[in-house]
């Protein structure tokens, strides 16, 4: 087994989610050995508990964009990717 460094992504929190989490964003290192996917990012954040578990938990509508494109749970994330988390959009 190779000893590869963890994938680090840049998180961006927007709108209501930014206020609820009290942060506009941060760097996140994914757990070593875990698949580098959107779902892993969400699981890693939920595991912190508190506002993260409450806001990103089951039944909460959270949208994710990877490098400015809408993404699904199974989509891959890579080193340095910008991963944005936000509520369903309400423009127009």
Partner 1 sequence: MSPDAADRAADVRVQAADFDVAAEIAALRAGDARVGAVATFVGTVRDVSEGAGVATLTLEHYPGMTEKSLQAIVDEAKRRFDVYGVRVVHRVGELAPADQIVLVAVTSAHRGDAFDACRFVMDYLKTQAPFWKKEATPQGARWVEARASDDAAAQRWRR
Distance separating alpha carbons of residues 10 and 1, to the nearest angstrom: 26
For the beta carbon of residue 52, count every other beta carbon within 10 angstroms. 17
The site map against partner 1 for 14-53 (x = CB under 8 A) is xxx-------------------------------------
Strand bridging mode 82-86 / 63-66: antiparallel
Least distance to partner 1, CB of residue 90, Å = 5
Q: How many residues does the chain have?
A: 92
Instruction: Candidates 7, 11, 12, 42: give the one binding partner 1 (CB under 8 A).
Output: 12
Site residues for partner 1 per CB under 8 A: 12, 14-16, 61, 65, 68-70, 84, 86-92
């Amino acid at each position: 087994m190779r000893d590869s460094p963890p994938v680090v992504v840049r998180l961006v929190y927007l709108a209501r989610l930014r206020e609820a989490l009290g942060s506009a964003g941060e760097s996140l290192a994914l757990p070593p050995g875990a698949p580098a996917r959107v779902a892993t990012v969400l699981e890693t954040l939920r595991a912190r508990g508190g506002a993260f578990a409450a806001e990103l938990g089951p039944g909460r509508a959270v949208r994710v964009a990877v490098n400015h494109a809408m993404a699904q749970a199974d989509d891959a994330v890579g080193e340095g990717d910008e991963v944005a988390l936000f509520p369903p959009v309400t423009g127009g």
